[in-house]
Structure 1
Amino acid sequence: MATAFLWGYYGFGNFGDEIMFRACVDLLKELDFGTIYTPLPNGKRSMGVTSVGRFSPKLVSLLRRSQISMAGGGGLFQDVTSFRSILYYYYLSRMSLLMKKPLIFFGNSIGPVRRSVSKRLVHEVVTHKNVTFIARDPVSYRYVRVLGGNAWLGTDPSILYLMNNETEERKENKAVFFLKKPLDVSFVLKNLRDHGIEDFVLLSAFSKDCQYLPPLRTGGNVLEEIKSSSIVITERFHPALVAACFEIPFVIVDCQKARRFFRRYTKEDFFFSKRDPLEISLKVSTVLKKRLSLKEKLKKDAVEMKEFLKDTLRRW
C-alpha cells in the first residue's frame, strides 16, 4: 500500500478545516494509501492517521517515506492572518519538492497575498514542474495559470465528505448563526419570528469567533445543527457551503472568500449581506422565499475533482 503526506491547517478545531481533513483522509484511504502522515498540533491523534508535531524533526523523515505530498484544502498561501503560516507551508512545499515528491494542492485557494516576499514564495512553489494545483475557486485557478503553473479548476474538498453524510435530518424551526464578533441581531430575530422561527442558535466555526450572545443559545455538533436548521446566517464560508450542499437557505455576511467561491455557481447575489443588522434582516426574508439550488452542481464538480486526482496519481 502507498504512503501519503497530508497537510493543512488541521487540528485547531476550525469547522471547515476539519471537514476538509476528513474528506481528504477518506479519499486517500479509498485510493489505497494505507499510511497517511499528517502534521498536527502537539502530534495529537486524529482520523486514523499517523500524526506528528507540526514542528517535529520527524517531518523530514516522514516526507521521505511518502510517495506523494498533498495539501488538502484551505487558503494556506495567504499572509493576511499571519506571515509565519505562509513560511510554514512554503517549508513543507519546498521540502516535498527537494525530495522529488509529487506535490498536489487539492482544492486550495491562494490569497490575499500582500507582501512581495510572499508572492515570490508562492510563485516558486506553484510553477514547479512537480506541482499540480487543483484550485478551489476561479480566482486562484487564474492566478496559478498566469504565473505559469499547472492548474486545474476543482472545488472545495469538504463536499466529498458531505456527499457521504446525506442522512435525512428532521428540520426544526431554527436559525443558526456564525459570527466573528458580537452583533446586535434584534432586528434579525424579530424578522425570523415573523417567519415562524423561534429557536436561535449561536455556533462557532473558528475557535476565536463569538461564542456567547444572548438570547441566542449555544449549539451542539456544528454539522448536525446546520443540517437540521431552517436558515444559516454566517460570516464564515464553510457553514454556507454546508447549507448549500443540503439546500438550506443561508445569508452570507461580509465574506470575500464565499463571494470568490459562489460566483462560479450562480450570478445571483441575494444571499450576500453587509454586516448591517437591518440589511441582514431584509436578506433573511429574501432567502426564505427565493430558494437557491446548487447541490447538484457542487456534487458534480466534487466528483470530477476526485476523478482528476485519480488520473493524476495514475500518471505518476
Structure 2
Amino acid sequence: MNTLERSGIILMGYYGHDNLGDDLLLLSTLMILKEANVKNEIYIPAPKNIEKLRKSFPKELKIKVIPRYNPYTLERYFHRSCCTIFGGGNLFQDETSTRSFLYYHFIAKRTLKRKNSLAFLSQGFGPIHKQRNRKHLKKILGNERSYGVIRDKVSYRYARRFSKNYQMGTDYGPYYLLKKKLITPNHEKDPELAFTVLKSGTSASEVVEALKYLGYRKLCAVGFHNSHDSQKQMELEDYAVNNGMEIIRPPQNIDGVMELLSKASIVVTERLHGAILATVQGTPFVWKKNRKTNRFVSSLVNDYCFSFNNSLESIVLAINGALRYDFDKLRATYLEKLDETVDRSIKLINKILD
C-alpha cells in the first residue's frame, strides 16, 4: 500500500457514550483538526450512539465512524492510516477498568508497530495500580514516534521522564463551545441558585443541607453521564424538595445547560468537566476531592483549593472559600492556557502529518 493510501487518522477517545465531558473533547478535537486544515480521512472507533453528535461535526472534515471493538475492522483501518490521535481524557488508567487500559494500549501498540505517529492531545495519565500496566505505558510514552500536549502537571512530568516529545497544556474540552459562542459568562449571578454535577460518590443529603444552610433556595441537578448520573440526580432533587428548595429542571440541550451554569452562583461537582465548564463560564465551583480535578486545578493556580469530603462542614467551608476567591483571575489563567494548548496541538498535528 503506497503512502497516499495510508494517510488516514485514527481518532481515539471515550466517545459516543452519552458522557458530556468526553463528547465535548471529541467536538473540540475535531474543531482543532479543522483549524489545522486537515484534509486526511478521520476514522473514529465508536458505538453507533455517536451519530447523535454528527450534526455538530465540522463539515470540512472527512469523518468515518467505525466499529470500536471489531479487531478485523480496526486492523483494516490501521492499514489505511498514518497516525493515531488520542483526543482528550484520562484513557490510560486502570482504576476503573483494566480492560479499558488494555484496549487503549492495544491501539497505541499497533500504531507504533506500524511505525505510525502517536499523539496524545489534552491527555492525562493514571492512576495506574498494576505494575505490568505501568511498564506498558512507559514503553508507549518512551517511543520516539509518540508525542503529546498533556493536560496536567503530574501527567506531564511523568511523560517527560521517558521522552522530551511532550509539552504542557490543559484540558481543551470547552474549546468547541467557545468557538460556537456558547460560553456567555454572566456576572449577574442568581444568589439563590446552585448547580450540581454529582455521581455516586457524594452524599446527596449533605450537599443539600449545606446549600440550604448557606441560603440557596433553587437547585439545578445535572448528570453529565446520562446512564450513570441519573440516579444521583433524582436523589438530589428528592432531598431538595423535602428541604423546601425549588427544582430547576436542566434543559436537554448544551446551550441551555451552559446558560443555567452561567447564572448559578455556585457549582458543586464530582466530575472534572463540571469544574472546567464552571471555570470557563466564570462561576465559582467546589469539587468532591479526586485526582483528576485536583490535578486540573493545581495545574492552573496554587491557591484555589476548595475541595470537600462528604461532611456538611467540609462542603460549607469549601463553598464559602470559593465565593471569596477572585474567580476572574482563575478564568483568565485557564483561557490563556487553553489558547496555548490549542496552538501547540495544531502545530503537533501538522508536524506528524508533514
TM-superposed CA distance for 1:215, in Å, is 4.1
Give the TM-score normalised by the residue count of structure 2. 0.81
Describe how 1:213-228 pairs up with structure 2 within 5 A: 213=235, 214-216=238-240, 217=247, 218-220=249-251, 221=253, 222-228=257-263
Q: Deviations over 1:91-126 (max 9, x none)?
A: 111121122221100010111011011011101211
Which residue number corresponds to residue 108 of structure 1? 123
Question: How far apart, CA to CA, are the structure 2 residues paired with 1:300 and 1:270?
Answer: 20
State the one-letter code of the partner of 2:67: G
Query: Which whole-Å deviations, capped at 9, do the CAs of 1:236-285 have from their partners, x for residues lacking one?
Result: 11111111112101111222211111112212144222222222123222
Q: Give distance in 2, aligned partners of 1:44 and 1:300.
A: 31
Residue 36 of structure 1 is matched in structure 2 by 42
Name which of 322, 327, 331 aligns with 1:295: 331
Provide, for residues 137-195 of structure 1, a one-character-per-residue CA deviation record: whole Å limited to 9, x for no partner: 010111111133521111102142243235436654421112223421343232342xx
Aligned to 2:299: 264
In the comparison of the two structures, how many residue pairs are matched?
Answer: 313
AA aligned opposite 1:136: R
User: How much has 1:36 moved relative to structure 2?
Assistant: 1.9
For the residues of structure 2 that align with 1:230 and 1:169, how far apart are their CA atoms?
12
CA distance in 2, matches of 1:298, 1:158: 12
Q: Does 1:128 align with 2:143?
A: yes
Q: 1:190 to 1:43 in 2, by over 3 A?
A: closer
Task: Give the one of 216, 219, 226 matched to 1:200.
Answer: 219
Q: Is the helix fraction higher in 1 or 2?
A: 2
The answer to which of 121-130 and 25-34 deviates more is: 25-34
- Please give the alpha-carbon distance, in whole angstroms, between the structure 1 residues aligned to 2:194 and 2:148: 37
Residue 25, structure 1, aligned to residue 47, structure 2: no
In the alignment, residue 345 of structure 2 is paired with which amino acid?
A: L
Does the 8 A contact of 1:192 with 1:198 survive in 2?
Answer: no
Partner residue of 1:238?
Answer: 273
Q: What are the ranges of 5 or more consecutive residues in structure 2 without an aligned counterpart? A: 58-62, 241-246
Going from structure 1 to structure 2, the CA distance change for 1:3 and 1:99 (only over 3 Å counts) comes to: same
Amino-acid identity (%): 28
Task: Give the equivalent residue in structure 2 for 1:53.
Answer: 67
Q: Root-mean-square deviation (CA), in Å?
A: 2.2
Match of 1:178 among 191, 197, 212: 197
Larger RCO, structures 1/2 (Cα 8 Å, 6+ apart): 2
> Gapped runs of 5+ residues in structure 1?
none
Question: What letter corresponds to residue 342 of structure 2 in structure 1?
Answer: K
Question: SS state of the match for residue 5, structure 1?
Answer: strand
Deviation string for 1:54-81 (max 9, x for gaps)? 1122222223323331000110110000
Structure 1 residue 188 corresponds to structure 2 residue 210: yes
Deviates further, 46-55 or 123-132: 46-55
Sort the Cα spacing of 1:270 and 1:69 in 2 relative to 1 into closer, same or farther, 3 A.
closer
Corresponding position of 1:252: 287
**Distance between the aligned counterparts of 1:179 and 1:167, measured in 2?**
22
Q: What is the CA–CA distance in structure 2 between the aligned matches of 1:66 and 1:157, rounded to whole Å?
A: 25
